[in-house]
Structure 1
């Protein structure tokens, strides 16, 4: 089997057995296409001929070509996933990436809204059916920290407004139950009364009653933020970041926040501990007599 055929088989397995999203599969395909092109240029016929020094040369070539440290780390992750699968199938007897490390990625802390900004945004005043829908979307984003895809995929059967809970389908087709705050419950009830609450009906509807388009949600959030005079670029993931930061700041319970966000790896959640420390450092610099800078 050729190297290209092995990649195609792996991508088919990802989409089928592992139920990876189309976006994830496309990312793997783009990354592995880089490896295949490099192998072809080097005259390397198959993956079994790869070894750590060659893979270091591959990473160096991509780095010289302008690939960022973050993209290089993702590229290496894609290659590792493929090589692990080939090893499980007995098609590779060694690890070509043994000891190979990509450049260090300096993680950029996510921007968040403070409590007053978040309250101003979600309580934006308006009239008509569009405002009722927008209020429910904003309240649910901030109340429960949902991803954009999770919110647009909701149906009324997924909500238990009496118990204050929502069942969402997250990454990797994993289901989790997330609390819904009282303000979000009230906004969702108002939406249901205005538009109907059939069990299989999408909670947030677009044209023809279909689930609302993610791009529509993004544009509405940006418009509402501009109407409130907010300087920050407001988008769905900003509200998820804001939810996580405010929860961690108030509770200090990293594991609980991990569960609420649906993070498979707690290291992903830990970025919010750095964000919280950044806030504390600002308070310290402003308040401590021995920390204040001379003006």
Structure 2
């Protein structure tokens, strides 16, 4: 039975139609049937991004590896999921026995992501008859709905809902935004127009790295009259569309959205295109961001290349901390709010599915908080005597 073979790992599969998804294979490189069915359904049936199926496959492979080590089948091992949590936290890998380190090898957030993928997998297996319903019982508790917002609760008596039983408490962390000084520091040490355009595009348009590396030249409408391009949107802008991309880039949202560009973005783009046009291999590539200075020339840049670029620029600029792409996106989100954008404008520009998705992106300056408090008007007269 392949489900109890040591050495499970994630593996990419490219379908004849050109779609790539990630599955789980055992030590003999045979796909695990139940996991494969779940992952291909997630990719094709739910239209999840390739990167999402990769994260799911990696998490399920960890679970199957642990099941093999304790000698239980994956449907039955859910009764010991608490031990799986401990294994995720402390197993250093590479050995048959548990290697306990002085600190966890996986943080609470990473462990919770693995558990979420495992629960999704088990739920799918039960719903499709690949596992008995009893496999679900150890995963959830029934709790009253009093802690839910009023609009999500029923009227009258409390109703019951299922809640994941195994979940670590994550430390509250707010991803910091890159400061204007840090962004300018990166721009000063850029050695070419392409790198400057990348920094400016993330800083002034809030693009995710997967969105930016997936932009095609046809998506860029940096012209005064876009109607000539068959587009009814006025002003310089570009379109973010979800596609299948050979470089692994993917827009997070399925919904297409246009993003306005200011004069700084357009200026950086013009200088980048002048540099790009000199590279002959790049002229035949429809991707906007391509390799101009390393092989393979003209090939689309990978999303991870943006992380590598910002890490190198941070070191070159001698910044106190490394800047990564999402910090530039956070800087854009904070700037939009500080400029007075409404919630619906902020949500649309950031490409969020809900208003609550934007909470981690809000980084109000302490001076603005003080100004907001001091801006609350005092009454002209305080009736009666107040003992201050």
What is the TM-score when the length of structure 1 is the normalising length? 0.77
Question: How well do the aligned residues superpose, as a CA RMSD in angstroms?
Answer: 3.4
Query: Within the alignment, does 1:88 sit opposite 2:127 as a pair?
Result: yes
Residue among 188, 205, 220 paired with 2:290: 205
Residue among 82, 85, 95 paired with 1:59: 85
Gaps of 5+ in 1: 289-295
Residue among 54, 71, 76 paired with 1:26: 54
Q: Is the Cα contact below 8 Å between 1:20 and 1:172 reproduced in 2?
A: no
Q: 1:56 to 1:265 in 2, by over 3 A?
A: farther
Higher relative contact order (CA 8 A, sep 6+): 1
1:117-164 Cα offsets, whole Å, 9 max, x none, are 434544x387xxx52222222211111111222222222101111232
Q: Where does residue 167 of structure 2 map in the other structure? A: 102
C-alpha distance in structure 1 between counterparts of 2:90 and 2:301, whole Å: 42
Q: Is the Cα contact below 8 Å between 2:310 and 2:322 reproduced in 1?
A: no
Q: Which is helix-richer, 1 or 2?
A: 1
Gaps of 5+ in 2: 4-31, 92-103, 142-164, 224-234, 243-250, 375-388
Q: Is the Cα contact below 8 Å between 1:21 and 1:172 reproduced in 2?
A: no
- Of 62-71 and 189-198, more deviation after overlay is shown by 189-198
Q: Where does residue 8 of structure 2 map in the other structure? A: none
Q: Is the Cα contact below 8 Å between 1:204 and 1:212 reproduced in 2?
A: yes
C-alpha distance in structure 2 between counterparts of 1:60 and 1:116, whole Å: 42
Residue among 212, 230, 235 paired with 1:151: 212
Query: Within the alignment, does 1:78 sit opposite 2:117 as a pair?
Result: yes
Q: Is the Cα contact below 8 Å between 2:189 and 2:317 reproduced in 1?
A: no
Q: Is the Cα contact below 8 Å between 2:174 and 2:360 reproduced in 1?
A: yes
Q: Give 1:232 shift.
A: 2.9
C-alpha distance in structure 2 between counterparts of 1:252 and 1:104, whole Å: 33
C-alpha distance in structure 2 between counterparts of 1:85 and 1:153, whole Å: 31
Q: 1:58 to 1:121 in 2, by over 3 A?
A: closer
Q: Where does residue 379 of structure 2 map in the other structure? A: none
Q: Where does residue 280 of structure 1 map in the other structure? A: 366
Question: How many equivalent pairs are there?
Answer: 278
C-alpha distance in structure 1 between counterparts of 2:218 and 2:285, whole Å: 6
Q: Where does residue 234 of structure 1 map in the other structure? A: 323
- Of 27-36 and 1-10, more deviation after overlay is shown by 1-10
Q: Is the Cα contact below 8 Å between 1:142 and 1:239 reproduced in 2?
A: yes
Q: Where does residue 6 of structure 2 map in the other structure? A: none
What is the TM-score when the length of structure 2 is the normalising length? 0.61
Q: Give 1:15 shift.
A: 3.4
Q: Give 1:77 shift.
A: 0.8
Q: Where does residue 258 of structure 1 map in the other structure? A: 347
Residue among 228, 234, 239 paired with 1:167: 239
Q: Which is strand-richer, 1 or 2?
A: 2
Query: Within the alignment, does 1:114 sit opposite 2:156 as a pair?
Result: no
Q: 1:50 to 1:217 in 2, by over 3 A?
A: closer
